[in-house]
Chains A and B, each alone.
Chain A
């Protein structure tokens, strides 16, 4: 340490070769000051249609927590334990809520043209997140370890092969689909969610089409 406690070296602010400074500057610049966790919102946000984004996030937290508990017991736990069955049901129904909230959020944003005001990437990341979420949910249905998952896998392989993507993965391989469901796709969902939320905080919540922003 070359600096004393309470002092900061002026050189460290401009040292572009230091990767921690570079990374810190990038993180600090992701959103405008005070907008990462704001305590005030524009007046037009006081509408129920604006709550479905954060309700989707809340459902996602419940999905992840219940999924982590299911991971402790394993994919067959819910077949042999009433507690496992309960947690599996919480996982299933929180996913239903997640998609319900997400689709209503999508409807609201579509009808207010939420890509306005340099928000195209926010819109696109939301669309990608929607598609990846469908894949994550789909692999969950393939991981039920019952006849239902077997039937879904049998139907899906025909559909996926018909569009030419069947060579990349095998929906009839329950081990592969379980690993995709609990590792790869959740990582993608969380990463894209972070990008989406950062973009929302960076550009602000989209105003309604008839909002008077001059007043």
Chain B
């Protein structure tokens, strides 16, 4: 195995779409982050206590 092929191995796989070029690893991370963001919006938040929170807030 030549030195060049070792360097190329480390570079990873890339997806090219016009002027856009992104590594598969980076694209995967972005997709997972968007997925986590959406799940954070739609998943119900567990509430172990029946107590009421401070509904007044302090929005000024």
CB of B57 within 8 Å of the partner chain = yes
A164 shortest CB reach to chain B, Å: 26
Q: A49 to chain B: which residues have CB within 8 Å?
A: 37, 40-41
Q: A118 to chain B: which residues have CB within 8 Å?
A: 60
CB < 8 Å neighbour of B45 from A46, A107, A206, A213: A46
A150 shortest CB reach to chain B, Å: 13
- Given the known interface contacts A48-B45, A100-B29, the answer about A215 and B55 at a Cβ–Cβ threshold of 8 Å is yes
Q: Is the Cβ of A206 less than 8 Å from the Cβ of B59? A: yes
Binary flags per residue of B24-50, CB closer than 8 Å to A gives 1, else 0: 000001000100110111010101000
Chain A, interface SS category: loop
Q: Is the Cβ of B56 less than 8 Å from the Cβ of A42? A: yes
Query: Size class of A's contact patch?
Result: 20 to 34
CB of A6 within 8 Å of the partner chain = no
Number of B interface residues, CB 8 Å? 19
Beyond the given pairs A42-B58, A48-B45, 12 more chain A to chain B contacts, judged by CB atoms under 8 angstroms and listed by A's residue number, are A40-B54, A42-B59, A43-B54, A47-B40, A48-B43, A100-B33, A107-B37, A205-B57, A206-B59, A207-B57, A207-B59, A211-B59
12 pairs, A vs B, C-beta closer than 8 Å: A35-B58, A42-B53, A42-B58, A42-B59, A43-B52, A43-B53, A43-B54, A46-B47, A48-B41, A100-B29, A117-B60, A213-B57
Give chain B's interface residues, CB within 8 Å of chain A.
29, 33, 36-37, 39-41, 43, 45, 47, 52-60
